[in-house]
Structure 1
Amino acid sequence: MKTILVVGASGATGRLLLKQLLDKGLKVKVIVRQPNLLPDDIKHHANLSEIHASVHELTDAEMALHVTGCDAVASCLGHNLTFKGMFGQPRLLVTDTVRRLCRAVQANHPEKMVKFILMNTTGNRNRDIPEQVSFGQACVISLLRLLLPPHLDNEKAADYLRTQVGQHNEAIEWVTVRPDSLTNADAVTEYEVHPSPVRSAIFDAGSTSRINVGHFMAELVVDDDLWNRWKGQMPVIYNKE
Structure 2
Amino acid sequence: MTTLVVGASGATGRLLVAQLLNQGQHVKAIVRSAEKLPEAIKNESRLTVIKASILELSDAEMAEHIAGCDAVASCLGHNLTLKGIYGKPRRLVTDATRRLCNAINANTPKKPIKYVLMNTSGNRNRDLDEPISFGQKCVIALLRLLLPPHVDNEKAADYLRTNIGQNDTMVEWVAVRPDGLIDEPMVTEYEVYPSPIRSAIFDAGKVSRINVAHFMATLINNDDLWQKWKGQMPVIYSKAE
Give the structure-1-normalised TM-score: 0.99
Where does residue 230 of structure 1 map in the other structure? 229
Task: State the alpha-carbon separation in 1 of the partners of residues 79 and 175 from structure 2.
Answer: 20
Deviation digits for residues 116-142 of structure 1, max 9, x if unmatched?
000000000000012110000000001
* Structure-to-structure mapping, 1:100-119, within 5 angstroms: 100-119=99-118
Amino acid at match of 1:35: A
Task: State the alpha-carbon separation in 1 of the partners of residues 105 and 19 from structure 2.
Answer: 27
Amino acid at match of 1:34: S
Where does residue 199 of structure 1 map in the other structure? 198
Q: Secondary structure at the match of 2:177?
A: strand
Task: State the alpha-carbon separation in 2 of the partners of residues 188 and 31 from structure 1.
Answer: 24
Where does residue 81 of structure 2 map in the other structure? 82
Where does residue 57 of structure 1 map in the other structure? 56
Where does residue 67 of structure 1 map in the other structure? 66
Kindly indicate whether residue 144 of structure 2 is the aligned counterpart of residue 171 of structure 1: no
Where does residue 140 of structure 1 map in the other structure? 139
Kindly indicate whether residue 27 of structure 2 is the aligned counterpart of residue 28 of structure 1: yes
Amino acid at match of 2:129: P
Task: State the alpha-carbon separation in 2 of the partners of residues 130 and 217 from structure 1.
Answer: 24
Task: State the alpha-carbon separation in 2 of the partners of residues 134 and 198 from structure 1.
Answer: 13
Where does residue 42 of structure 2 map in the other structure? 43
Task: State the alpha-carbon separation in 1 of the partners of residues 201 and 36 from structure 2.
Answer: 33
| Structure 2, unaligned runs of 5 or more | none
More displaced, 3-12 or 27-36? 27-36
Q: Secondary structure at the match of 2:109?
A: coil
How far apart are residue 34 of structure 1 and its match? 2.7
Amino acid at match of 2:42: K
CA contact (8 A) 2:121 2:179 kept: yes
Number of residues paired by the alignment?
Answer: 240
Where does residue 122 of structure 1 map in the other structure? 121
Give the structure-2-normalised TM-score: 0.99
Task: State the alpha-carbon separation in 1 of the partners of residues 13 and 188 from structure 2.
Answer: 18
Q: Equivalent pairs: percent with the same residue?
A: 67
Q: Secondary structure at the match of 1:234?
A: coil
Q: Secondary structure at the match of 2:176?
A: strand
How far apart are residue 35 of structure 1 and its match? 3.0
| Structure 1, unaligned runs of 5 or more | none
CA contact (8 A) 2:9 2:34 kept: no
Task: State the alpha-carbon separation in 2 of the partners of residues 108 and 132 from structure 1.
Answer: 39
Task: State the alpha-carbon separation in 1 of the partners of residues 122 and 227 from structure 2.
Answer: 24
Q: Secondary structure at the match of 2:35?
A: coil
